[in-house]
Amino acid sequence: MLLSGSRVLAAAQAPGRGRAVLTRVLAEVCGAHAAAVRHVTFDVGPALLAAVREPADGPGHGAGEGAARTVPVVAVRIAPRPARHPALARHPSAPIADLVARSVTLPGGHDLLGRELAALDEARVGELARELAATGVRAVAVAGCGSLAAPAHERTVGERLLAAVPGLRISLSHEFGGQDLAGREASAVLNAALADVAEEVLGACEAAAGRVAPRAQHGVARGDGGRTPLARARTLPVVAVGAAEAAALLGAARLAGRERCRVLLPGPEGALLGEVRNGVPLVRPGRVPGWGVRLSVPMAILSAKGTALDGVGGGADSADAGAEAGDGDGGEPPLVVVAAGDGHPARPTPAAGPAAASGPVSDAGAEPGAGHRVAGRDGRVSLSPPADLALIGTALCPPMAWVDEVVQVKDARELAAVRRDAEQRTIAMVTAQGAAPGSARLVETTVVALPFSPAGTMRVHLRAVGEAEPWTADEAAARDAAPDGTGAGDARMADRSGVGGQRAREAPAAREAGEGRGARAAEGAHGGRRPRGAR
């Protein structure tokens, strides 16, 4: 799908399958505007999850496809003491436990504030490293108690294992944020299991986009409604899970012209209600769509609202007079009701195997455009999207970054300094994600005291977005020379892609040295650091 602003310029008339088809579909959508495309964003979440859900001989994986599958993962848990019952040593979610070939508990860990609960058993770490080197393990997920505040034990284990087994793919749970150990462990296990699939999928996406739009920025839509570069998505593929739902909310709000609204999306099992604030979807650590696994990475909040749209939005759900006039903070935000059809992300997607899809134009023979919307007197907006709403939102995903950390402060002055530091780091991370300097803005700021904790214990949670890099002089000239003169140089392209490799994960130490804490948060994971005053 090709967009200029929020206007659909072109959409593929039929979905395609296979690696070879991906380049053809992208070329078909871009057409004469290929040289002017600024961003190419892929939604790879469905393809990644399909690789986990389906057996290796499932649909789309016949002979000759060469599709990669998930790899068995060794789960390493760092805790003060091991579980006494075998059931407690496994992850509580059955789909995640099925991805784990072996579970190991190492003595160590920290509390919520980063204070060490038990010293890391270095001898046991060395013993584990030798065992893994002898067994040929390829993927390891490390989850430590309190690692959001103090990731030192996780990093040490990761570095020791990687030194013993070069090329080992290691996922550290603190890279995904969240104070829930089970959620972080699930995120790390799934991320490690997807390494082969993600390498193959993203490699095909990069090759296709490089041929069709080599001057564009190539990225992946995330579950929080943001966009991350393809190179970083290879390291943290799990952040792409759930992107379609967040993108659908983003696309609906943009087509409706609302920075703040509720969105009612049609679905096969009933309508789903979500919300957009400050132009981005409202998110929280959530369950994988259609799978029931809870992760620590943020995803769009969607609640079931029954099977019929009639009556939804009336009474208490309808926008008040203040919302009718605009997107002010007073009262209920306006309700955007998406017409049933191509606008929801819950329709069947191609099976795991080589696949690429773009939603068809909603009306056969109609010219692509910005869709049809009707504003009611009660503030409700009825929206008929011109094409696949999730793909429209995917093309509009902005650079995004998070900071989520626990700190200890003595007084209001120190808290203000901590907040300023966090804001500056968040803005810097958005710029590193590809946002134009000066365009980054905070869209979510939460500073709250943690209950049942020592005085001065605060959680600082920030979220920021930015606009794309401005056009260079050469790019502006190419835009002005577009064949139809419609300003197609502002165009973006989105595609839903899936194929089925493997690439050695870089060392955690190398990532830390090269990108620092901010790189983890910039992926949509919540960056953590040792709290002030913690020992």
- The greatest distance separating any two alpha carbons of the chain, rounded to the nearest whole angstrom, comes to 70
What pLDDT was estimated at residue 70?
76
Q: CB neighbours (10 Å) of residue 476?
A: 12
Beta strand pairing status for 73-79 and 100-107?
A: parallel
Predicted confidence band at 15 (pLDDT cuts at 50, 70, 90)? low
3-state helix, strand, coil in the chain (%, to 5): 35, 25, 40
Would you give the DSSP letter of residue 504?
A: P
Q: What is the rounded average pLDDT of the residues 446-462?
A: 89
DSSP 135-170: HT--EEEEEETTTTT-THHHHHHHHHHHHHSTT-EE
Placement of tokens 């508990």 in the chain? 105
CA distances from residue 156 to 109, 113, 153 in whole angstroms, order as listed: 12, 19, 5
Output the six-digit token pair for 113: 């504030």
pLDDT at 330: 55
Spell out the domain ranges in the chain.
398-472
Look at residue 368 in the predicted model and tell me its pLDDT: 44
Contacts of 340 (CB under 8 A, 6+ apart): 266, 309
- Contact between 500 and 68 under an 8 Å Cβ cutoff? The reply is yes
Query: What is the rounded average pLDDT of the residues 19-34?
Result: 81
Name beta bridge partners: 364.
none
Confidence of residue 341 (pLDDT cuts 50, 70, 90): low
Q: How does 43-55 read in b/e, with b if 16+ C-beta sit within 10 Å?
A: bbbbbbbbbbebe
Look up tokens 């920025």; give the residue.
217
Report the pLDDT value the prediction gives residue 373, as an integer from 0 to 100: 59
Instruction: Give the span between the Cα atoms of 38 and 490, in whole angstroms.
Output: 7
pLDDT exceeds 90 at position 73: yes
More confident residue, 30 or 140: 140
3-state secondary structure 272-316: EEEEEECCEECEEEEECCCCCCEEEEEEECCEECCCCCCCCCCHH
pLDDT exceeds 60 at position 246: yes
Range with the largest mean pLDDT of 173-182, 339-348, 419-428, 490-499: 419-428
DSSP 397: P
Question: What pLDDT does 23 receive?
Answer: 84
**Residue 263 clears pLDDT 60, i.e. is over it:** yes
The residues pairing with 493 across neighbouring beta strands, listed in sequence order, are: 2, 40
Residue 347, pLDDT > 50, answer no
Grade residue 535 by pLDDT with cuts at 50, 70 and 90.
very low
Pairing of strands 335-338, 261-265: parallel
Strand partners, 219: 41, 229
Asked whether 249 and 274 are in contact (CB, 8 A), the reply is yes
User: What is the rounded distance in angstroms from the CA atom of residue 146 to the CA atom of residue 405?
Assistant: 11
pLDDT above 50 for 150? yes
Phi/psi of residue 489, nearest 5 degrees: -65, -15
* Cα 300 to Cα 398: distance, rounded to the nearest angstrom: 15
The residue written with tokens 């067994």 in the block is: 135
Pick the residue with more confidence: 493 or 158?
Answer: 158
At residue 381, what is the residue type?
Answer: V
Closest CA to 392 of 223, 218, 252: 252
User: From CA 134, how far away is CA 137, in angstroms rounded?
Assistant: 8
What residues pair up with 498 in beta bridges, in sequence order? 355
Range of weakest confidence among 171-180, 454-463, 489-498 = 489-498
The one-letter code for the residue type at 409 is V
Decide if 467 contacts 130 (C-beta within 8 A). Answer: no
Q: How far apart are CA 191 and CA 337, in angstroms?
A: 35
Give the residue-averaged pLDDT of 501-526.
32
3-state secondary structure of 390: helix
Q: Rounded to an integer, what distance in angstroms lies between the CA atom of residue 201 and that of residue 495?
A: 13
Beta strand pairing status for 2-4 and 491-498?
A: antiparallel
